[in-house]
Amino acid sequence: MRTSSEFESVRNRFPVFKNKIYLNSCSQGALSDAVEASLLAHIRSWHEDGSPWDRWVEQYEAARASFARFIGAQPDEVAIVSCASVGISAVGSALNFGGRRRKVVMGEFEFPTMGQIWLAQQPRGAEIQFVVPEHGQIPASAYGKAIDEQTLIVPLTHVCFMNGVRSDVVAITKLARDRGALVMLDDYQDCGTRPIDVKALDVDFYVSGALKYLLCPSGVAFLWVRPELIRSLTPTITGWFGQQNPFAFDVKHFDPAVTARRFESGSPPLPHVFTVPAALELLGSVGFDRIAGHVATLAQALLVGARELKIKIKTPADTRGPLVVLQMKDSEAAVKKLASHNIVVSSRMDGLRISFHLYNTLDDVRALLEVLQKNINLTVRDLGG
């Protein structure tokens, strides 16, 4: 078993903790010495060799391979994109909305980019149907009422960015499959905090960026595509790095790669791809099972503490991820108050977002609760009865 002092020593690899209690991985993961070194390695090679593109392309393939390994997939099934939105858009551009299946069914808990990208497909024939929450959650049964034989795809967030609710991926995926619809899982708010076996999830597309719980800078994201689907989809959002041989420099032919690289477009985000193997190695050295257990313990401690203080909790106790959201009267004021105590969190609407990763401790939870207790007037109370 990894002891808490081992987690403590991992924390020492993230300099931000010298000055701050960092609880904002749902916005941006903290910077580790390993990721910093990998960025510097890219800069050094640029300084020393000017344009060592052969080696840089090797790094880009190394990032693909390490992400593929992490999610239990093959490198050829993974596209490297500059942000999740680009990967989602490439898939959207490849789908045909002119047939019998033209519905896109998604919950209101999706990140806005998901809604916006599929709404942008309306002129191409897409019909968007939003599934409405019931008592702060969207049960699989609500998806069941919306997914039908006309449904083409169900985009599904694994964990909601706004309230930390974890979707019932197994049940919703089964409903979609039984009715012949595709499923796109957006794992951005969870990816990096637990083991992932993308094939066991049985989805068709899996998308995540690397800047949150994967602890990388912004500018790199991944799209996994079910291998049987890859060649049947031809994105119209494309470019030379999406071609079978980008270095053929053939302006007169459109020849999409036979691998998931066909979902890519132009020059890869090179400085960022350097960071991916470094970050995954650091996370893997602790172990994703252990990280998941650690994060669950911290989230549970916060839920218990918030309940004791009678603060209204927006995240259900039984179906959550690394993000716990508390309801505030003025969430921005709460963020500022915590910042004045060197505690970094964020807000969305009336929710105060507190998120946990391998580097956090029970002391972080205590420090946060202490500030909230002293400023209880900022919170919405749950006085029961």
Ligand X SMILES: Cc1ncc(COP(=O)(O)O)c(C=O)c1O
Question: Any contact of residue 267 with ligand X (CB under 6 A)?
Answer: no
Dist CA 220 CA 37 (whole Å)? 17
- Cβ atoms of residues 67 and 310 within 8 Å: no
Stretch that binds ligand X, among 58-66, 77-85, 97-105, 233-241 (CB under 6 A): 77-85
Stretch that binds ligand X, among 41-49, 138-146, 165-173, 186-194 (CB under 6 A): 186-194
> In terms of CB distance, is 74 or 113 closer to ligand X?
113
> In terms of CB distance, is 208 or 259 closer to ligand X?
208
- Lookup result for tokens 């927006």: 314
- Lookup result for tokens 């105590």: 341
Q: What's the closest the beta carbon of residue 83 comes to ligand X, in angstroms?
A: 3
- Lookup result for tokens 């000017």: 50
Question: Any contact of residue 138 with ligand X (CB under 6 A)?
Answer: no
Question: Any contact of residue 298 with ligand X (CB under 6 A)?
Answer: no
Residues 203-222: x where in contact with ligand X by CB under 6 A, - otherwise, as a string: ------x-----------x-
Q: What is the DSSP string of 298-310?
A: HHHHHHHHHHHTT
Q: What's the closest the beta carbon of residue 67 comes to ligand X, in angstroms?
A: 14
Q: Residue 143, Cα to own-chain centre: how many angstroms?
A: 21
> In terms of CB distance, is 114 or 311 closer to ligand X?
114
Q: How many residues bind ligand X (CB under 6 A)?
A: 12
Q: What's the closest the beta carbon of residue 190 comes to ligand X, in angstroms?
A: 9
Please give the C-alpha separations between residue 276 and each of 131, 196, 273, 316, 340, in angstroms, as whole numbers: 34, 16, 5, 32, 33
Question: Any contact of residue 189 with ligand X (CB under 6 A)?
Answer: yes
In single-letter form, the type of residue at position 349 comes to: M
How would you class 7 by CB atoms within 10 Å of its CB: exposed for 0-12, middle for 13-18, buried for 19 or more?
Answer: middle
Q: What's the closest the beta carbon of residue 166 comes to ligand X, in angstroms?
A: 12
H-run or E-run covering 156: strand 151-157
Question: Any contact of residue 84 with ligand X (CB under 6 A)?
Answer: yes
- Cβ atoms of residues 47 and 67 within 8 Å: no
Integer Rg of the chain from CA: 21
Q: What's the closest the beta carbon of residue 153 comes to ligand X, in angstroms?
A: 16
> In terms of CB distance, is 287 or 316 closer to ligand X?
316
- Cβ atoms of residues 328 and 350 within 8 Å: yes
How would you class 109 by CB atoms within 10 Å of its CB: exposed for 0-12, middle for 13-18, buried for 19 or more?
Answer: buried
By three-state DSSP, how is residue 152 classified? Answer: strand
Q: Which residues of 336-356 are buried (b: 16+ CB within 10 A; e: fewer)?
A: ebbeeeebbbbbbebbbbbbb
> In terms of CB distance, is 111 or 359 closer to ligand X?
111
Question: Any contact of residue 23 with ligand X (CB under 6 A)?
Answer: no
Q: Which of 113, 244, 267, 297 binds ligand X (CB under 6 A)?
A: 113
Stretch that binds ligand X, among 137-145, 170-178, 183-191, 356-364 (CB under 6 A): 183-191
Question: Any contact of residue 85 with ligand X (CB under 6 A)?
Answer: yes
How would you class 62 by CB atoms within 10 Å of its CB: exposed for 0-12, middle for 13-18, buried for 19 or more?
Answer: middle
Question: Any contact of residue 111 with ligand X (CB under 6 A)?
Answer: yes
By three-state DSSP, how is residue 36 classified? Answer: helix
Question: Any contact of residue 157 with ligand X (CB under 6 A)?
Answer: yes
Q: What's the closest the beta carbon of residue 120 comes to ligand X, in angstroms?
A: 14
Q: What's the closest the beta carbon of residue 32 comes to ligand X, in angstroms?
A: 20
- Cβ atoms of residues 232 and 212 within 8 Å: no
Q: Write out the binding residues for ligand X, residues 216-255 only, by CB under 6 A.
A: 221
Question: Any contact of residue 265 with ligand X (CB under 6 A)?
Answer: no
Question: Any contact of residue 188 with ligand X (CB under 6 A)?
Answer: yes
Q: Which of 68, 83, 131, 338 binds ligand X (CB under 6 A)?
A: 83
Nearest C-alpha neighbor of 53 from the set 276, 192, 329, 241: 241
Q: What's the closest the beta carbon of residue 293 comes to ligand X, in angstroms?
A: 23
Residue numbers at the binding site for ligand X (CB under 6 A): 83-85, 111, 113, 157, 161, 186, 188-189, 209, 221
